[in-house]
Structures are given as structure tokens and as C-alpha cells.
Chains A and B, each alone.
Chain A
Amino acid sequence: MRSDSEQLPSGQLGRLLRVGAVGVGAALLLSFPAMAPNPYYLSAGIVVLSYAVLATSWNFVGGLTGYISLGHGALAGLGGYGTALLVTKAGLPSFVALFGAALLVALLAIPLGFAALRVRGASFVIVSIALVLILLLVFQSWASLTGGSRGLVVLRPFPGLLRPEHHRVFFFLYAALLAAALIAWWLIDRSRFGLGLKAIREDEDKAEALGTPTLSYKLIVFVVSAAFTGLGGGLYALWFGDLDPVFQFSILTGAYMVLMALLGGVRHLFGPLLGALIVGVGLEYFKVEYGSTPLHLVGSGLLLGVVVMFMPDGVIPAVSHAVRRLRGAADSSIREVTAAELAEQRRPAEPEEARR
């Protein structure tokens, strides 16, 4: 109990600091369109935000259950094509189509998840890659519906808007979607459901043996993840207005989501967002500086290697650990507590037990 009372003030301070930091971060993000020097920067900002949405959506599955999906690019692509087709073929209003497509992706995620989530580890990764490749072939070949490699043009939702205004509106739409995804992740993370998911991440059989319905839990969170990923992909279709299967069903999209989430830290709410900021800005920089060379791929590959080798938990834990060590605070790992200290800690508790 003593440790509780010691932790309380710093815990409250920490919470205050965190809330403050989130507020500052949100203010910076929302002021970006006003500060961006030209529409190019604004569109780059939208691309980075869309990465942040996708990486955060991926992290529902990757971060909470530990299942590494490289197939989330396919879910984003389905969201994009779903939205585009509902607009062009079914004539639905843009944002009805967006939510309709996300709903369809979520429904499709039920059988997909039911099949894929039965295998673990590397097998799950391979199944998820197969999903992307299959859908790429389908959407390329089925040209009568999807336009194939010629592409599919989507009407803009706001025909009257000029280009910079269009960017500005979509920046805020993406920011709203990101906020929704973050809030959903936060709510799940701190729930009993979330604790069960984290137990699955640690030891799935053990979680099941303790009464956690692991398959249902994984399936539910996969569907939530798919819905947000579909929304992210659909919003991209409405913003960009032109879809090509090669880019919509690319292994790269899923790989970027994994890299961003791992880089930032999958156990943290803002990990994927931070990773998306770093990788997304880096990718845009490489594209501007080196044009269409594959250098950005080499760069992200190297970065993934460095992250996995030196920061397996991502930037956030690595930095906070370093800060704690610099401060010299007693990082109380159990092994460092001596037997004498333990006896000391236990002593006050004993008279209470005796009284009972």
C-alpha cells in the first residue's frame, strides 16, 4: 500500500502531462493546413495522416493481439475500391459510399479473420500476404468492373472546391478519422476485452485455459481493425480520385503499416502515429529528392532492420527507458530488491493479518 501512496502524486502529474501533450499535439496537427506553405505540403501532410490512420488501424490487431498482418493493405484497397464502385456504379453519395464500403470490408473481415486467425506466427503472416496478392490479381483482371490497370476514376465529393481547399477539407477529415481510431484503440486497450487481447499476445493457450474466448476476441478486434482500415482506404479514394490495383493492393502498404507501428511502438496508443510521422515524412522526402528511384524502399528496409534489432518495442519505450535511466530513478526490477528489503516490505502487513 505504501508504494501506492508514493505513486499517486507522480501518477497524477504524469496524467496531466500526458493530457497536455495530447492537447499540444492535436493543436499542432490542426494548425498544419494553415501553416503549410503550399498545396504540395498540404497533400504530403494528408498522405502522412492517411499512413497514421492505417498504422493505427493495423495496431488493433498487431499491437493488441500480436498477430502481424501484412495483408492490411488489401483491406485498405477494398475500402478504396468499394467506395469508388459504390459511387461510380451504384451512384451513392460519396460519404454514404465511404461508410457502406467500410461496412462491407468489416463484413468480409469476418470470414477472412475466421480462416486466417486460426494460424499463428509466420503462417498468419503468409496467409495475410496471400490475401493481398489474390485481390491484386482479381482487381487487375476484372477490368470490366474495376477498370483494371487503366485505373478507376472517382468523382470528387465536393466538385465546387478548388484544389487547396479540397486538400484542406480532406486533411481535417483524415484528422477526424485518426481521432476516432485512436479513441477506439484507447477504449479497447483499457478494457477487460483489451486485457484479454493482451493475454492472447503473451500466451494464447494460457489465455484460453483461463476462460478467454480467444477466437471470438481476435475476430472482433480484427473486424474493428478492418473497418477503420477500410475507412482509411475509402477516404483516400475520395481524396485522390484515381485508383490503380497495383497501388491499392500492394504488399508495400501493409509493410509500411507494420514498419510504422513497430517503429513507434505497438504497445502504445500513439506509437503507430509517431512511426507514421517519421516514416511518412521520410518517404515523402525521398520521393522529392530522389524521384522514382527505389531508394526509399532501401531506406525503409534498413529502418525496419534497425528497429527490429535495436528497438524491438519501438521508439516510445526506448526513449522513455533512456529518460528514466538519465533521471537515475530507481527502476525497480524485482531482481534488484534484496531479501532484506522484501522482509521489510512485508512486515507492516503481518500484524493486520494477525488481527483478522
Chain B
Amino acid sequence: MTLATVELSKSFGGVAALDAATVTFRPGQVNALIGPNGSGKTTFFNCVTGMIRPDSGRVAYQGKDITGTAPHRIARAGMGRTFQLCRVFGRMTALDNVLVAARSGSLVERLRSPRSRDHVERARGWLARMGIDHLEHAEAGAMSWGQQKLLELAGVLMSDPETVLLDEPAGGVNPALIDRIADLVRELNAEGKTFVIVEHNMDLVMSLSDHIVVFDRGRPIAEGPPSVIRSDERVLGAYLGV
């Protein structure tokens, strides 16, 4: 049930975004991935979820090597993600946005209506859990930023992931909504989902996470519980430049 990388490297035009990053996340916990801008966090997410093929190194998930596996297979293996700049299907309704993530097996099943009773029920359930079920017929592109963030999360959860990667869930979101998102993460974690969260809001990171990995220049420089990370000199150095 673990997500781990070994010596993961990726360069863009000679600049190393990831530099032999070896990381192991804790299953069943809320993991945070922090670090200064440009330290490779989003590239790390993209490599782990198959969106980008790493130059070298391996990604393992649930004991299997998933390096170079197509993103949709990784998603179906139980790893869901949100994007840094929240991405929803702007010209679909909120309900359809969530229904896209429903699993279908055979080709025949894929020719059935997406609005089958059990799929719609589950999709509505996730929208209700996010508190945006009153907007199910609304076009996603017309929703507010915060609502879109919640909608994106509802979609990811509809795909029934065991591990959820959140890229800046609190980015550009008002404080009340940050609390709501934090509560949701705690609840879902209590229900058994593993989280890996990239976030710049340190109050949120410190209050939410069980285990923190700190990135600098494409590799982890420290890891541990919040209490340890808060006082780690290397972390302070990386953030404050002292």
C-alpha cells in the first residue's frame, strides 16, 4: 500500500527538476510534500502519476513497478490526483464532471448511459460530501474557484482512489474553505485513504500531516513528523536562505 520512488530523476533542458529523489510515503497517513518554489514537487507528482516519463529511476506503488505506466492505468490502480491549477471540465455540468471518473469495465458497459442509477447516486454522494450538490446541473466553468476545487476533489474521489495526491489544495482558496478541505482530508484519511499533499500553507501542512517530506532542488532534504520538521535547520535554510 505504499507509494515510493527510487532515484527518480527528470531534467528539462539541462535543468534538473528531480535529482535522484528517493522517497517513501507512509500508507494510511496524511503525507505532505513541501519545499520552495521550483524544488520539483509538481514534477514529482507528474512522474509518479505517469503524466511525465522520468529520465531515470523507478516508481513503485503497492509493491508494483509503475514507472512509465500510462496515467489512466495508474489512476485505475488506485492513485488519484488533483492539479495545481484546479482543472475541471468547464463545459460539462458538475454531475457529469464527477461521472467521467466512474469506472466501467467492458466495451458494452461503456456504451451504456453514464447516468445509471448507482453511478449518479455515488456522484451525488460525493458532491453532497463536498457541499456542492445543489450545483449538480451547473456548468463547471461558471462555478467559483473554490467550488471548482471541491468539484475536482469530488471527481477524483469518484474514481475510488486508495491514495490521493493533492497539488496545492489550499491555493487561492478562502480561509473558511481551507478549513473545510482540511476537515475533508481528515475524514477521508480516517476512512482509510492515504494522502500526499503538496502545499505552501504551512499552518495547514503542520496541522494536517502525519509525515512531512521536504524537497529542495529536486531531492528530499529532510523528513519526519511536523514537530521535527519545524525545527530542522536544513528546512529553515532551504526556505529562508540562511
Contact = CB atoms under 8 A, between A and B. Distances in A.
Interface of A: 3, 187-188, 190-196, 198-199, 202-203, 205-215, 333-335, 342, 345-346, 349
Given A205-B71, A335-B142, 17 more contacts: A188-B111, A192-B104, A192-B113, A198-B89, A198-B92, A202-B89, A202-B92, A208-B75, A209-B51, A210-B75, A210-B80, A211-B159, A213-B70, A333-B139, A342-B134, A346-B134, A349-B133
A205 B100 CA distance: 13
Contacts of B70: 208, 213, 215
Report, nearest first, the 5 A-B pairs whose CB atoms are least far apart.
Answer: A202-B89, A211-B75, A210-B101, A334-B142, A193-B110
B112 A192 contact: yes
B135 to A, nearest CB: 7
Contacts of A191: 110-114
Given A198-B89, A199-B89, A349-B134, A213 B111 contact: no
Interface in B78-131: 80-81, 83, 87-92, 96, 99-104, 107, 109-114
B134 A211 contact: no
A125 B144 CA distance: 34
B111 A209 contact: no
Contacts of A208: 51, 70-72, 75
B143 interface: yes
A193 B99 CA distance: 11
Given A209-B75, A214-B72, A192 B114 contact: yes
22 contacts: A192-B109, A194-B114, A195-B100, A195-B114, A199-B92, A199-B100, A202-B89, A202-B91, A205-B71, A206-B83, A206-B88, A206-B89, A207-B89, A207-B100, A209-B49, A209-B51, A209-B72, A209-B83, A210-B100, A210-B155, A211-B75, A213-B70
Contact of B111 (A187, A203, A215, A342): A187
B173 to A, nearest CB: 17
Contacts of B88: 203, 206
Nearest to A199: B100
Contacts of B156: 210
B137 interface: yes
B110 A203 contact: no
A217 to B, nearest CB: 9
Contact of A211 (B72, B92, B135): B72
A211 B102 CA distance: 9
B96 A195 contact: yes
Nearest to B109: A192
Contacts of B155: 210
B138 interface: yes
Contacts of A349: 133-134
Nearest to B142: A334
A112 B156 CA distance: 33
Contacts of A202: 89-92
B76 interface: yes
B113 A203 contact: no
B81 A334 contact: no
A196 B138 CA distance: 19
B98 to A, nearest CB: 10
A141 B167 CA distance: 55
A205 B71 CA distance: 9
A203 B89 CA distance: 6
A122 to B, nearest CB: 21
Nearest to A196: B100
Contacts of A342: 134
A210 B109 CA distance: 18
A190 B111 CA distance: 8
Contact of B87 (A3, A206, A214, A333): A206
Interface in B169-219: none
A335 B139 CA distance: 11
Contacts of A199: 89, 92, 100
A269 to B, nearest CB: 16
Nearest to A191: B111
Contacts of A205: 51, 71, 87
Nearest to A342: B134
Nearest to B51: A205
Nearest to B140: A202
A206 B76 CA distance: 14
A199 B114 CA distance: 13
A334 B111 contact: no
A215 B112 CA distance: 20
A349 B103 CA distance: 28
B81 A209 contact: yes
Contact of B113 (A190, A210, A214, A346): A190
A214 B73 CA distance: 11
A211 B87 contact: no
Interface centre among A188, A205, A209 (most CB of B within 10 A): A209
Nearest to A216: B72
B5 to A, nearest CB: 18
Contacts of B133: 349
A198 B89 CA distance: 9
B52 to A, nearest CB: 11
